[in-house]
Amino acid sequence: MKYIYIDESGDFGFSKKSTKAVIVAATFTDSPIEITRWFNKIKRRKIRKKDKTTGELKASVIPDKFLEYYYQHVAKDLNFSIYAIVINKKYIPPRLKNEEGLIYLKAIEKLVEISKTEIDQTMFWYFDRRTLKNISWDLIKQSVRNKLILLSAKRKYNFEIHQTDSKRNINLQFADFIAYAIFRSKCMSDSRWINLIKKHVKRVDELNLR
C-alpha cells in the first residue's frame, strides 16, 4: 500500500517576476501516519506559538535556520521516496503559454511514468487543491488512474486519487518542503537542502514539450 503526496513549487506565469521553472514533486511513503507525527513534532518544537495558528507551513517563507534543521532531520528520521518533474518555462512553446492546465497534466503523466517502479496494488494519490486553467480536475484524476492501470502488473488494483486542501492535510505540507528543496536547486542554484535529502531522491526529469 502506497500513499503519494504531490505539490508544486514555482508559478506558471511569464512576467519578469515569475519563476524560471515549476517543480512538480511526489513523495511516496508506506506510512503516512509516521510523516504526520514527525511533522507535528517538528512544528511543536521549532515553530513559534503565534505561527502555529496559521494551520499551514510553507517552506518558501520559513527561515533558513529552521529549514536546515528540518532537512537534516527528515533525511535520517523517515523513509520515503521522491520523484519530480521540472517544467522549464524557457522551453514551453508559444502556443502552450496560456495552457497551464495542459502543461500540468503532461507533467503529472510524466511523473507517474518515472515512478512506475513504485506502483502498488493499492495506492492513494493526494494533490494539493488548486485552480487550473482550461482543464478539469476530473480529467487529471482519470488520466492518473488510466496511466496507473496501464503501467501496473497487478490483475487487481485499487487506485484512489484525491484533491485535498493542504491546510487540512499536513502530509501535503510535507510535500511542499520537498518540492521547495528541488526548486531551490534547479531554479536558484542553491543545493543546500536537496543535498541533505538526496538519498531519498530517486529521479528528477525535465518535461519536454517541444
| Containing structural domain, residue 123 | 2-206
Q: Are 5 and 166 in contact (CB under 8 A)?
A: no
Which cell goes with 26? 511526489
Of 31-35, 75-79, 93-97, 151-155, the one with minimum mean pLDDT is 151-155
**Percent of the chain at pLDDT above 70?**
96
Place of cell 493499492: 122
- pTM comes to 0.93
Report the number of distinct structural domains present in the chain. 1
For the cut 50, the answer to whether the pLDDT of residue 46 exceeds it is yes
Rounded to whole angstroms, how far apart are CA atoms 24 and 180?
10
Task: List CB contacts of 150: < 8 A, sequence separation 6 or more.
Answer: none
Residue 5 in 3-state DSSP?
strand
Confidence bin at 53 (pLDDT 50/70/90): very low
Q: In this structure, how many other beta carbons lie within 10 angstroms of the beta carbon of residue 76? A: 9
Residue 148 in 3-state DSSP?
helix
Residue 82's pLDDT is what?
A: 98
Distance of CA 193 to the CA centre of its chain: 15
Q: Residue 13 phi/psi, 5° resolution?
A: -75, 170
Residue 89 in 3-state DSSP?
helix
For the cut 50, the answer to whether the pLDDT of residue 24 exceeds it is yes
Query: What are the Cα distances from residue 201, in Å, to 45, 66, 76, 101, 114?
Result: 26, 21, 13, 26, 12
Query: What are the Cα distances from residue 4, in Å, to 9, 67, 87, 171, 175?
Result: 17, 22, 20, 9, 9
Q: Are 33 and 174 in contact (CB under 8 A)?
A: no
Dihedral, CA of residue 63, residue 65, residue 69 and residue 72, to nearest 10? 100
For the cut 80, the answer to whether the pLDDT of residue 47 exceeds it is no
For the cut 70, the answer to whether the pLDDT of residue 54 exceeds it is no
pLDDT in tens, 155-193: 899 999 999 999 889 999 999 999 999 999 999 999 999
Looking up residue 83, the CATH number of its domain turns out to be 3.30.420.10
For the cut 50, the answer to whether the pLDDT of residue 150 exceeds it is yes
The arithmetic mean of pLDDT across residues 93-121, rounded, is 94
